[in-house]
Protein backbone atom coordinates (compact mmCIF):
# COMPACT_ATOMS: atom_id res chain seq x y z
CA UNK A 1 0.00 0.00 0.00
CA UNK A 2 1.31 3.50 -0.75
CA UNK A 3 1.12 6.16 1.91
CA UNK A 4 -1.62 8.68 1.16
CA UNK A 5 -1.48 11.55 3.64
CA UNK A 6 -4.81 13.00 2.50
CA UNK A 7 -6.55 9.69 3.09
CA UNK A 8 -4.78 9.22 6.44
CA UNK A 9 -5.89 12.66 7.62
CA UNK A 10 -9.47 11.94 6.55
CA UNK A 11 -9.39 8.85 8.75
CA UNK A 12 -8.90 10.98 11.89
CA UNK A 13 -12.06 13.03 12.47
CA UNK A 14 -10.59 15.24 15.20
CA UNK A 15 -8.14 16.75 12.70
CA UNK A 16 -11.05 18.60 11.10
CA UNK A 17 -11.81 20.62 14.21
CA UNK A 18 -10.61 24.05 15.16
CA UNK A 19 -9.00 25.09 18.43
CA UNK A 20 -9.14 28.74 19.47
CA UNK A 21 -10.63 29.57 16.07
CA UNK A 22 -7.68 28.01 14.18
CA UNK A 23 -7.34 24.64 12.43
CA UNK A 24 -5.95 22.15 14.92
CA UNK A 25 -2.24 21.39 14.54
CA UNK A 26 -1.81 18.44 16.86
CA UNK A 27 1.85 17.98 17.81
CA UNK A 28 1.39 16.29 21.18
CA UNK A 29 1.48 12.75 19.85
CA UNK A 30 4.26 11.70 22.19
CA UNK A 31 1.79 12.15 25.04
CA UNK A 32 -1.12 10.48 23.26
CA UNK A 33 -2.15 9.99 19.64
CA UNK A 34 -5.52 10.74 18.07
CA UNK A 35 -7.85 7.92 17.03
CA UNK A 36 -8.87 6.89 13.51
CA UNK A 37 -12.58 6.47 12.72
CA UNK A 38 -12.09 2.69 12.52
CA UNK A 39 -11.11 2.61 16.22
CA UNK A 40 -13.94 4.95 17.23
CA UNK A 41 -16.43 2.78 15.30
CA UNK A 42 -15.08 -0.42 16.83
CA UNK A 43 -15.46 0.99 20.35
CA UNK A 44 -18.99 2.22 19.61
CA UNK A 45 -19.97 -1.11 18.08
CA UNK A 46 -18.52 -3.08 20.97
CA UNK A 47 -20.52 -1.03 23.49
CA UNK A 48 -23.70 -0.72 21.43
CA UNK A 49 -24.17 -4.28 20.24
CA UNK A 50 -21.45 -6.67 21.39
CA UNK A 51 -20.77 -5.91 25.03
CA UNK A 52 -20.52 -8.45 27.85
CA UNK A 53 -17.86 -9.54 30.28
CA UNK A 54 -15.24 -11.88 28.87
CA UNK A 55 -14.06 -15.39 29.75
CA UNK A 56 -16.63 -16.31 32.40
CA UNK A 57 -19.88 -16.41 30.47
CA UNK A 58 -21.48 -19.16 28.48
CA UNK A 59 -23.97 -16.92 26.72
CA UNK A 60 -23.76 -15.59 23.18
CA UNK A 61 -22.59 -12.05 23.92
CA UNK A 62 -19.95 -13.17 26.38
CA UNK A 63 -18.54 -15.59 23.83
CA UNK A 64 -18.60 -12.91 21.14
CA UNK A 65 -16.84 -10.37 23.36
CA UNK A 66 -14.32 -13.03 24.46
CA UNK A 67 -13.51 -13.99 20.87
CA UNK A 68 -13.03 -10.37 19.85
CA UNK A 69 -10.98 -9.54 22.92
CA UNK A 70 -8.78 -12.63 22.66
CA UNK A 71 -8.20 -12.11 18.92
CA UNK A 72 -6.24 -9.00 19.85
CA UNK A 73 -3.52 -11.14 21.43
CA UNK A 74 -2.47 -12.52 18.07
CA UNK A 75 -2.61 -9.03 16.53
CA UNK A 76 -0.24 -7.69 19.20
CA UNK A 77 2.02 -10.73 18.69
CA UNK A 78 2.05 -10.06 14.94
CA UNK A 79 2.66 -6.34 15.45
CA UNK A 80 5.69 -7.06 17.64
CA UNK A 81 6.72 -10.08 15.58
CA UNK A 82 6.44 -12.62 18.37
CA UNK A 83 5.73 -16.12 17.09
CA UNK A 84 4.20 -17.05 20.46
CA UNK A 85 0.74 -15.60 20.98
CA UNK A 86 0.81 -16.42 24.69
CA UNK A 87 3.89 -14.24 25.12
CA UNK A 88 1.52 -11.25 25.20
CA UNK A 89 0.09 -10.09 28.54
CA UNK A 90 -2.64 -7.46 28.33
CA UNK A 91 -2.59 -4.46 30.63
CA UNK A 92 -3.46 -0.77 30.80
CA UNK A 93 -0.21 0.35 29.20
CA UNK A 94 3.51 0.59 29.69
CA UNK A 95 3.35 1.82 33.28
CA UNK A 96 1.43 -1.26 34.36
CA UNK A 97 3.59 -3.50 32.18
CA UNK A 98 6.85 -2.36 33.76
CA UNK A 99 5.38 -2.53 37.26
CA UNK A 100 4.31 -6.11 36.52
CA UNK A 101 7.89 -7.03 35.70
CA UNK A 102 9.20 -5.25 38.80
CA UNK A 103 6.79 -7.08 41.11
CA UNK A 104 6.43 -10.43 39.37
CA UNK A 105 9.89 -11.04 37.94
CA UNK A 106 12.40 -8.75 39.67
CA UNK A 107 11.26 -8.64 43.31
CA UNK A 108 11.33 -12.40 43.91
CA UNK A 109 14.65 -12.84 42.11
CA UNK A 110 16.89 -9.86 42.91
CA UNK A 111 18.84 -9.37 46.13
CA UNK A 112 20.51 -6.45 47.90
CA UNK A 113 23.58 -5.36 45.95
CA UNK A 114 22.24 -6.54 42.58
CA UNK A 115 22.33 -3.88 39.90
CA UNK A 116 19.83 -2.51 37.41
CA UNK A 117 21.38 -0.54 34.55
CA UNK A 118 19.26 2.18 32.97
CA UNK A 119 19.80 5.20 30.78
CA UNK A 120 19.46 8.77 31.94
CA UNK A 121 16.72 9.38 29.37
CA UNK A 122 14.18 6.93 30.80
CA UNK A 123 10.59 7.96 31.37
CA UNK A 124 9.52 7.83 35.03
CA UNK A 125 7.52 4.69 34.17
CA UNK A 126 10.84 2.97 33.61
CA UNK A 127 12.49 4.52 36.67
CA UNK A 128 10.09 4.53 39.61
CA UNK A 129 9.43 0.76 39.71
CA UNK A 130 13.23 0.27 39.95
CA UNK A 131 13.44 2.94 42.66
CA UNK A 132 10.93 0.83 44.61
CA UNK A 133 13.46 -2.02 44.45
CA UNK A 134 16.26 0.34 45.48
CA UNK A 135 14.27 1.63 48.47
CA UNK A 136 12.82 -1.67 49.58
CA UNK A 137 15.49 -4.20 48.69
CA UNK A 138 18.83 -2.39 48.44
CA UNK A 139 19.10 -2.81 44.66
CA UNK A 140 21.67 -0.47 43.08
CA UNK A 141 20.60 1.70 40.14
CA UNK A 142 23.40 2.32 37.64
CA UNK A 143 22.76 5.31 35.35
CA UNK A 144 24.24 5.73 31.90
CA UNK A 145 24.44 9.21 30.33
CA UNK A 146 23.73 10.18 26.74
CA UNK A 147 26.35 12.20 24.81
CA UNK A 148 26.06 15.85 23.78
CA UNK A 149 23.90 14.94 20.76
CA UNK A 150 21.58 12.87 22.90
CA UNK A 151 22.91 9.62 21.44
CA UNK A 152 23.36 6.59 23.64
CA UNK A 153 26.46 4.68 22.61
CA UNK A 154 25.71 1.00 23.36
CA UNK A 155 29.34 0.70 24.53
CA UNK A 156 28.53 3.05 27.41
CA UNK A 157 25.70 0.79 28.49
CA UNK A 158 27.91 -2.26 28.10
CA UNK A 159 30.71 -0.64 30.12
CA UNK A 160 28.23 -0.03 32.96
CA UNK A 161 27.26 -3.70 33.18
CA UNK A 162 28.99 -5.93 35.71
CA UNK A 163 28.50 -9.41 37.08
CA UNK A 164 26.06 -7.88 39.54
CA UNK A 165 23.84 -6.57 36.72
CA UNK A 166 20.62 -8.52 36.75
CA UNK A 167 18.46 -6.28 34.62
CA UNK A 168 18.93 -3.64 31.95
CA UNK A 169 15.90 -1.33 31.63
CA UNK A 170 16.14 0.75 28.51
CA UNK A 171 13.91 2.87 26.32
CA UNK A 172 13.82 2.05 22.61
CA UNK A 173 13.07 5.69 21.74
CA UNK A 174 13.34 8.69 24.02
CA UNK A 175 10.10 10.61 24.52
CA UNK A 176 12.11 13.83 25.00
CA UNK A 177 15.10 13.62 22.64
CA UNK A 178 13.67 11.31 19.98
CA UNK A 179 16.88 9.26 20.20
CA UNK A 180 16.55 5.68 18.93
CA UNK A 181 18.57 3.20 20.99
CA UNK A 182 20.40 0.17 19.60
CA UNK A 183 18.56 -2.18 21.95
CA UNK A 184 19.67 -5.28 20.04
CA UNK A 185 23.38 -4.73 20.75
CA UNK A 186 22.63 -3.87 24.38
CA UNK A 187 20.48 -6.99 24.75
CA UNK A 188 23.19 -9.25 23.37
CA UNK A 189 25.77 -7.83 25.81
CA UNK A 190 23.39 -8.11 28.77
CA UNK A 191 22.58 -11.72 27.92
CA UNK A 192 26.28 -12.55 27.67
CA UNK A 193 26.51 -11.46 31.31
CA UNK A 194 23.40 -13.38 32.31
CA UNK A 195 21.25 -10.24 32.75
CA UNK A 196 17.80 -9.79 31.30
CA UNK A 197 16.55 -6.82 29.30
CA UNK A 198 13.37 -4.83 29.51
CA UNK A 199 12.69 -2.48 26.61
CA UNK A 200 10.27 0.39 27.03
CA UNK A 201 8.68 0.50 23.60
CA UNK A 202 6.00 3.10 24.34
CA UNK A 203 7.39 5.60 21.86
CA UNK A 204 9.20 3.34 19.41
CA UNK A 205 6.28 1.07 18.52
CA UNK A 206 4.31 3.90 16.94
CA UNK A 207 7.16 5.13 14.74
CA UNK A 208 8.94 2.04 13.42
CA UNK A 209 8.50 -1.70 12.82
CA UNK A 210 9.27 -3.72 15.95
CA UNK A 211 10.71 -7.22 16.00
CA UNK A 212 11.06 -8.56 19.53
CA UNK A 213 12.55 -11.82 18.30
CA UNK A 214 15.28 -10.01 16.41
CA UNK A 215 16.02 -7.75 19.39
CA UNK A 216 15.85 -10.89 21.57
CA UNK A 217 14.78 -8.79 24.58
CA UNK A 218 13.06 -10.43 27.54
CA UNK A 219 10.30 -7.84 27.96
CA UNK A 220 8.91 -5.25 25.53
CA UNK A 221 6.25 -2.86 26.84
CA UNK A 222 3.80 -0.94 24.66
CA UNK A 223 0.92 1.38 25.41
CA UNK A 224 -2.30 1.49 23.37
CA UNK A 225 -3.19 5.18 23.53
CA UNK A 226 0.07 6.20 21.83
CA UNK A 227 -0.60 3.62 19.09
CA UNK A 228 -3.80 5.34 17.91
CA UNK A 229 -5.78 3.03 20.21
CA UNK A 230 -7.97 3.74 23.25
CA UNK A 231 -6.51 4.86 26.56
CA UNK A 232 -6.52 2.05 29.09
CA UNK A 233 -5.32 -0.49 26.51
CA UNK A 234 -1.85 -1.97 26.32
CA UNK A 235 0.32 -5.05 26.43
CA UNK A 236 3.72 -6.37 27.29
CA UNK A 237 5.67 -9.02 25.42
CA UNK A 238 7.31 -11.48 27.80
CA UNK A 239 9.73 -14.09 26.55
CA UNK A 240 8.25 -17.51 27.43
CA UNK A 241 11.29 -18.50 29.57
CA UNK A 242 10.85 -15.33 31.63
CA UNK A 243 7.11 -15.80 31.93
CA UNK A 244 7.72 -19.25 33.38
CA UNK A 245 9.89 -17.64 36.08
CA UNK A 246 7.30 -15.05 37.11
CA UNK A 247 5.02 -15.28 40.10
CA UNK A 248 1.55 -13.72 39.88
CA UNK A 249 1.35 -10.06 40.81
CA UNK A 250 -2.29 -9.03 41.15
CA UNK A 251 -4.69 -11.58 42.59
CA UNK A 252 -8.36 -11.88 41.72
CA UNK A 253 -10.75 -13.33 39.18
CA UNK A 254 -9.56 -14.79 35.88
CA UNK A 255 -6.00 -15.48 37.03
CA UNK A 256 -6.93 -18.57 39.04
CA UNK A 257 -8.08 -22.08 38.22
CA UNK A 258 -9.21 -23.32 41.66
CA UNK A 259 -9.48 -21.59 44.99
CA UNK A 260 -10.06 -23.33 48.31
CA UNK A 261 -9.71 -22.27 51.92
CA UNK A 262 -6.09 -23.34 52.09
CA UNK A 263 -5.13 -23.91 48.45
CA UNK A 264 -5.02 -22.06 45.22
CA UNK A 265 -4.01 -23.04 41.72
CA UNK A 266 -3.33 -20.49 39.04
CA UNK A 267 -4.56 -20.19 35.52
CA UNK A 268 -2.06 -20.73 32.73
CA UNK A 269 0.02 -17.79 31.55
CA UNK A 270 -0.69 -15.24 30.19
CA UNK A 271 -4.06 -15.16 32.04
CA UNK A 272 -2.21 -15.80 35.29
CA UNK A 273 -1.01 -12.20 34.98
CA UNK A 274 -4.36 -10.65 34.07
CA UNK A 275 -6.43 -10.45 37.24
CA UNK A 276 -9.93 -8.98 37.23
CA UNK A 277 -12.21 -7.69 34.52
CA UNK A 278 -9.96 -6.25 31.83
CA UNK A 279 -10.42 -3.18 29.64
CA UNK A 280 -12.45 -5.28 27.19
CA UNK A 281 -13.59 -2.64 24.74
CA UNK A 282 -10.33 -0.70 24.88
CA UNK A 283 -8.34 -3.81 23.99
CA UNK A 284 -10.72 -4.52 21.09
CA UNK A 285 -10.08 -0.94 19.95
CA UNK A 286 -6.34 -1.51 20.25
CA UNK A 287 -6.61 -4.50 17.92
CA UNK A 288 -8.31 -2.30 15.33
CA UNK A 289 -5.65 0.41 15.76
CA UNK A 290 -2.87 -2.14 15.18
CA UNK A 291 -4.67 -3.48 12.08
CA UNK A 292 -4.98 0.10 10.86
CA UNK A 293 -1.23 0.70 11.27
CA UNK A 294 -0.27 -2.66 9.78
CA UNK A 295 -2.56 -2.06 6.79
CA UNK A 296 -0.82 1.23 6.07
CA UNK A 297 2.51 -0.47 6.78
CA UNK A 298 4.97 0.45 9.50
CA UNK A 299 7.69 1.02 6.89
CA UNK A 300 5.43 3.52 5.10
CA UNK A 301 4.61 5.30 8.34
CA UNK A 302 8.30 5.40 9.26
CA UNK A 303 9.33 6.87 5.91
CA UNK A 304 6.61 9.56 6.01
CA UNK A 305 7.73 10.53 9.51
CA UNK A 306 11.38 10.52 8.46
CA UNK A 307 10.61 13.06 5.75
CA UNK A 308 8.74 15.15 8.33
CA UNK A 309 11.67 14.88 10.73
CA UNK A 310 14.16 16.02 8.09
CA UNK A 311 11.98 18.94 7.10
CA UNK A 312 11.31 19.95 10.71
CA UNK A 313 15.00 19.66 11.56
CA UNK A 314 15.96 21.88 8.63
CA UNK A 315 13.36 24.53 9.49
CA UNK A 316 13.98 24.50 13.24
CA UNK A 317 17.79 24.54 12.78
CA UNK A 318 17.27 27.81 10.91
CA UNK A 319 16.01 29.49 14.11
CA UNK A 320 19.23 30.51 15.82
CA UNK A 321 17.44 31.52 19.03
CA UNK A 322 15.98 28.03 19.46
CA UNK A 323 17.85 25.46 21.56
CA UNK A 324 16.96 21.97 20.39
CA UNK A 325 17.64 19.18 22.88
CA UNK A 326 18.59 16.00 21.08
CA UNK A 327 20.48 16.13 17.79
CA UNK A 328 20.84 12.45 17.09
CA UNK A 329 20.89 11.92 13.32
CA UNK A 330 18.63 8.88 13.37
CA UNK A 331 16.15 10.38 15.84
CA UNK A 332 12.39 10.22 15.51
CA UNK A 333 10.27 13.26 14.67
CA UNK A 334 10.24 14.48 18.27
CA UNK A 335 11.68 17.95 18.97
CA UNK A 336 12.21 19.31 22.46
CA UNK A 337 13.36 22.89 22.71
CA UNK A 338 13.66 26.08 24.71
CA UNK A 339 13.96 29.65 23.48
CA UNK A 340 16.88 31.92 24.33
CA UNK A 341 15.66 34.55 26.76
CA UNK A 342 13.19 34.64 29.59
CA UNK A 343 10.26 32.74 28.05
CA UNK A 344 9.26 29.65 30.01
CA UNK A 345 8.24 26.51 28.10
CA UNK A 346 4.73 26.93 29.51
CA UNK A 347 4.49 30.46 28.05
CA UNK A 348 5.51 29.20 24.62
CA UNK A 349 3.01 26.37 24.67
CA UNK A 350 0.24 28.76 25.79
CA UNK A 351 0.98 31.15 22.93
CA UNK A 352 1.13 28.30 20.41
CA UNK A 353 -2.17 26.98 21.74
CA UNK A 354 -3.81 30.31 20.89
CA UNK A 355 -2.78 29.55 17.31
CA UNK A 356 -4.35 26.08 17.44
CA UNK A 357 -0.98 24.35 17.86
CA UNK A 358 -0.88 21.69 20.59
CA UNK A 359 2.58 20.98 22.03
CA UNK A 360 3.59 19.73 25.47
CA UNK A 361 5.63 21.71 27.97
CA UNK A 362 7.21 20.49 31.17
CA UNK A 363 9.64 17.81 32.30
CA UNK A 364 7.94 15.11 30.21
CA UNK A 365 8.19 12.63 33.11
CA UNK A 366 11.94 12.51 32.58
CA UNK A 367 13.39 14.50 35.46
CA UNK A 368 16.81 12.75 35.56
CA UNK A 369 17.25 13.69 31.89
CA UNK A 370 16.17 17.28 32.55
CA UNK A 371 18.79 17.49 35.30
CA UNK A 372 21.41 16.06 32.94
CA UNK A 373 20.47 18.63 30.28
CA UNK A 374 20.50 21.45 32.83
CA UNK A 375 16.95 22.58 32.11
CA UNK A 376 13.82 22.41 34.25
CA UNK A 377 11.43 22.05 31.33
CA UNK A 378 11.20 22.12 27.55
CA UNK A 379 8.52 22.44 24.90
CA UNK A 380 8.04 19.31 22.86
CA UNK A 381 6.56 18.98 19.37
CA UNK A 382 6.03 15.30 18.60
CA UNK A 383 4.81 14.24 15.16
CA UNK A 384 2.59 11.39 14.03
CA UNK A 385 1.69 9.75 10.74
CA UNK A 386 -1.05 12.34 10.06
CA UNK A 387 1.16 15.42 10.41
CA UNK A 388 2.33 17.43 7.40
CA UNK A 389 5.15 19.71 6.33
CA UNK A 390 2.56 22.52 6.28
CA UNK A 391 2.11 21.94 10.01
CA UNK A 392 5.87 22.19 10.52
CA UNK A 393 5.65 25.61 8.83
CA UNK A 394 2.84 26.63 11.19
CA UNK A 395 4.94 25.58 14.16
CA UNK A 396 7.87 27.65 12.88
CA UNK A 397 5.59 30.68 12.31
CA UNK A 398 4.23 30.25 15.84
CA UNK A 399 7.73 30.06 17.31
CA UNK A 400 8.81 33.17 15.40
CA UNK A 401 5.83 34.96 16.89
CA UNK A 402 6.89 33.77 20.39
CA UNK A 403 10.44 35.02 19.79
CA UNK A 404 9.12 38.47 18.80
CA UNK A 405 6.90 38.49 21.86
CA UNK A 406 9.39 37.28 24.48
CA UNK A 407 12.83 37.60 22.85
Binding residues for ligand PLP, rule: CB under 6 A, are 31, 93-95, 123, 125-126, 171, 175, 200, 202-203, 223, 225
Output the smallest distance, CB 212 to ligand PLP, in A.
Answer: 16
Question: Which residues sit opposite 334 in a β-bridge?
Answer: 382
Instruction: Name which of 288, 236, 253 is nearest 55 in CA terms.
Output: 253
d(CA 140, CA 134): 6
* C-alpha–C-alpha distance, residues 79 and 290, integer Å: 7
Are 32 and 226 in contact by the 8 Å Cβ rule? The answer is yes
The three-class DSSP label of residue 266 is strand
CA dihedral 36, 174, 25, 322 (to 10 degrees): -170
Looking at the Cβ atoms of 96 and 391, the one nearer to ligand PLP is: 96
Q: Has 217 been annotated as catalytic? A: no
Q: Which is nearer to ligand PLP, 93 or 285 (CB)?
A: 93
Q: How far is the CB of 174 from ligand PLP (least distance, A)?
A: 7
CB 125 within 8 A of CB 95: yes
DSSP string covering 256-298: EEEE-SS-EEEPPTTGGG--SS--HHHHHHHHHHHHHHHHH-H
User: Quick one: 114 or 218, whose CB is closer to ligand PLP?
Assistant: 218
Q: Residue 223 CB, nearest distance to ligand PLP (Å)?
A: 3
Closest CB to ligand PLP among residues 221, 271: 221
Q: Which is nearer to ligand PLP, 34 or 202 (CB)?
A: 202
**CA–CA dist 177, 254 (Å, integer):** 40
* Options 217, 365, 379, 402, the catalytic residue: 365
At closest approach, how far in Å is the CB of 361 from ligand PLP? 14
Q: How far is the CB of 277 from ligand PLP (least distance, A)?
A: 19
Instruction: Compute φ and ψ for 49, nearest 5 degrees.
Output: -140, 0
The residues annotated with a catalytic role in the active site are 365
Amino acid sequence: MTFNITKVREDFPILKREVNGKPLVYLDNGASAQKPQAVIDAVTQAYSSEYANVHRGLHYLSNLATDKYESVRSKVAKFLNSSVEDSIVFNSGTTEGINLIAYAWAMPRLQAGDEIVLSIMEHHANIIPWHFLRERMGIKLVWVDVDANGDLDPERMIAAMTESTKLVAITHLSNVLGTVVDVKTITKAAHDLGAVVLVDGSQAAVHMPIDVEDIDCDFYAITGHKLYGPSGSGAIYIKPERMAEMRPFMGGGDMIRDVGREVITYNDAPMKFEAGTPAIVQQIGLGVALDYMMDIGMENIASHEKALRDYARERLDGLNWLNIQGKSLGKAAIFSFTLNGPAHAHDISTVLDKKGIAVRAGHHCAQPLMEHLGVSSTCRASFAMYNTKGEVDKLVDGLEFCQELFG
